[in-house]
Structure 1
Amino acid sequence: MVNPNQIVAVVDDDESVCRAIKRLLHSAGIEAETFSSGDELLNMLSAIPSYRPACVILDIQMPGTGGLEVQRQLAPLGLPIIMITAHDELAVRQAALASGAAAYLRKPFNAAILLKAVELAINGPLRP
């Protein structure tokens, strides 16, 4: 279960995707904040150093700073990142996962799979 005080940052240049993911997370009791670009998230993190989402859902292809570059810039913060994309390319998938992405999902994705990915990204894998 995700702590209700934790916030998930959703970064996608498609407003309808942000809205849908935010609504899905909210229905599962997870707070979400949306950002229309990687630059917008990076600026928020820079302007408010105490802002730390529990997880970032990050689109790969966006205008400005793309998802892989945002992932690279977020790496020192140790934030779990779930990459999402409409254009699945093997090299991009491998780069994202090699750089530490907690999950890589192709749009459109199943709601239950996204929720499970968020839970695992925040809480880590279940230990016996």
Structure 2
Amino acid sequence: MVNPNQIVAVVDDDESVCRAIRRLLQSVGIEAETFSSGEEFLDTLSAIPSYRPSCVVLDIQMPGISGLEVQRQLAPIGLPIIMITAHDELSARQTALVSGAVAYLRKPLNGAILIKAVEMAVGGTPLT
């Protein structure tokens, strides 16, 4: 179970996806904050050093900085990352998982699987 003080960051350029994931997570007591781009999320991390979400749900394909680039920049911090995508490409999947993503999920997302992935990411157990 996720600690109620923990926050999950949702980074996706599609506002409806951010909204749906936030509502889903909140429905099971998981607090979520949304970001519309990789740049916005990385800027927030830089501007507020104390801000550290427990987990990041990260879209792979976004304008500007891609999800894979955000993942690369987050590697030194060690935040658990769940990658999501509507365009499943083998090379992106392999890169994400080799780079440490705890899960790789395809859109449309299965709510129960996403919740389980978040719980596992926050708990430190990879989803296989």
Q: TM-score range by the shorter chain?
A: over 0.9
Instruction: For 1:120 and 1:65, locate their aligned partners in 2 and report how far apart those are by CA, in whole Å.
Output: 26
The superposition leaves residues 59-87 of structure 1 with CA deviations (integer Å, 9 ceiling, x where unpaired) of 00000100000000000000000000000
Question: 5+ unaligned residues in a row in structure 1: which ranges?
Answer: none
Q: Cα RMSD (Å) of the superposition?
A: 0.9
Alignment of 1:1-128 (within 5 A): 1-125=1-125
| Aligned counterparts of 1:9 and 1:124: Cα–Cα separation in 2 | 16
Give runs of ≥4 in structure 1 deviating > 4 Å: none
CA distance in 2, matches of 1:50, 1:15: 25
Q: 1: distance between equivalents of 2:123 and 2:32?
A: 16
In structure 2, C-alpha distance between the alignment counterparts of 1:124 and 1:43, rounded to whole Å: 25
Rounded to whole Å, the distance in 1 between the matches of 2:71 and 2:100 is 9
Percent of pairs identical after alignment? Answer: 80
**How far apart in 2 are the matches of 1:68 and 1:90?**
13
Aligned residue type for 2:17: V
Shift of 1:125: 2.6
| Number of equivalent positions | 126
Q: Which runs of 5+ in 2 are unaligned?
A: none
